[in-house]
Amino acid sequence: MRTIDNENRLQTYLTPSRLFPIRGGYRLQARRTRTRAFRIDETVDEQLREWAEREGVSVSFLANKALRRLVEWDMYADRFGFIAMPNEALSRMIDLLSLDEVRELGQWVGENAYRAFTTFVFKHIDMETVLEVIPKLTSKYTKAFEYEVKREGSRTVIVLRHGRGRKYSIFYEEVARAMFRDLVGRGIRTESQENAVVLEVPNVPRLAATDEVPIGSRRSFPPTVEESTRRRNALT
């Protein structure tokens, strides 16, 4: 499928993505992409081309990556008052605090900053939206840590790896406990290690295998079967 808007120079394509298995064979699963023409500064274009050549990627890839960051993070972070700070500076600030002060700071950041930010972005707060902000978006756009998500029986295990020492672990342990506390009560278990934090929470909706974000997020995914069933039951 292709549409063209001459005035805005907007083109829409239905682009093959991957083969999706069905009974009796496969069908082509497609993703919708658009080609939009717009003006950028000449110096920006030159820098994009130089960076793309250096990294071995296309200019379109870099532009799409920047635009995705804008719509997923920057538009909200800027309006909410987030500022950029080197991780080394934050680590140094935390190192200067006592253990009790680190715990108090982490709890305050989780209860006030991150919970409020989650509500600001998604207009509500639940297990799915919390997992979108921590660990997914925070890891992706602040580079504060890397993360892994794994389902074990009736629980979901989240590991935040940062490599910045135990106080940094305690800080993010308290951030996570504050964010999850009202959602799972005493069901959350945490362990701060030297360079990582391990979180265990009761199972959330099934995680996608590709990027480990909850299916059913009200921001970008369709509702789960359980949600659809609850809605139908509520109407009867």
Is the peptide bond prior to 86 cis by the omega test (within 30 degrees of 0)? no
| Residues 188, 178: Cα–Cα separation, whole Å | 10
Higher-scoring residue by pLDDT: 2, 105: 105
Q: pLDDT at residue 54 above 90?
A: yes
**What mean pLDDT value characterizes the chain?**
77
> Looking at residue 90, what is its pLDDT?
84
Q: pLDDT at residue 162 above 50?
A: yes
- Average pLDDT of the segment spanning 210-233: 39
| Residues 180, 175: Cα–Cα separation, whole Å | 9
> Looking at residue 114, what is its pLDDT?
92
- Average pLDDT of the segment spanning 185-189: 78
C-alpha distances (whole Å) from 7 to each of 17, 49, 60 are 29, 27, 22
- Following DSSP, what letter does each residue of the chain receive, concatenated? -EEEETTTTEEEEEEEEEEEEETTEEEEEEEEEEEE-----HHHHHHHHHHHHHHT--HHHHHHHHHHHIIIIIHHHHHHT-----HHHHHHHHHTS-HHHHHHHHHHIIIIIIHHHHHHHHSS--HHHHHIIIIIIHHHHH-S-EEEEEEETTEEEEEEE--S-HHHHHHHHHHHHHHHHHHHGGG-EEEE-SSEEEEEEE--SPBPTTT--BTT-TTTSPPPHHHHHHHHHHH-
C-alpha distances (whole Å) from 81 to each of 78, 116, 129, 137, 202 are 5, 11, 20, 16, 32
> Looking at residue 186, what is its pLDDT?
66
> Looking at residue 154, what is its pLDDT?
84
Q: Is the dihedral of CA 153, 127, 181, 157 positive or negative?
A: positive
The position carrying tokens 């699963």 is: 29
- 94 confidence band (pLDDT: 50, 70, 90): very high
The position carrying tokens 């993070």 is: 73
Rounded to two decimals, the pTM is 0.67
Query: Are the CB atoms for 203 and 215 separated by under 8 Å?
Result: no
Q: pLDDT at residue 166 above 90?
A: yes
- Average pLDDT of the segment spanning 9-25: 42
Higher-scoring residue by pLDDT: 87, 44: 44
* Each residue's pLDDT tens digit, 172-186: 999 999 998 888 766
Residue whose C-alpha is closest to residue 95's, from 195, 171, 146: 171
Q: pLDDT at residue 234 above 50?
A: no
> Looking at residue 31, what is its pLDDT?
59
| Residues 183, 181: Cα–Cα separation, whole Å | 5
Q: pLDDT at residue 230 above 60?
A: no
**For the chain, how far is it from start to end, CA to CA, in angstroms?**
40
> Looking at residue 160, what is its pLDDT?
95
- 35 confidence band (pLDDT: 50, 70, 90): confident
> Looking at residue 204, what is its pLDDT?
55
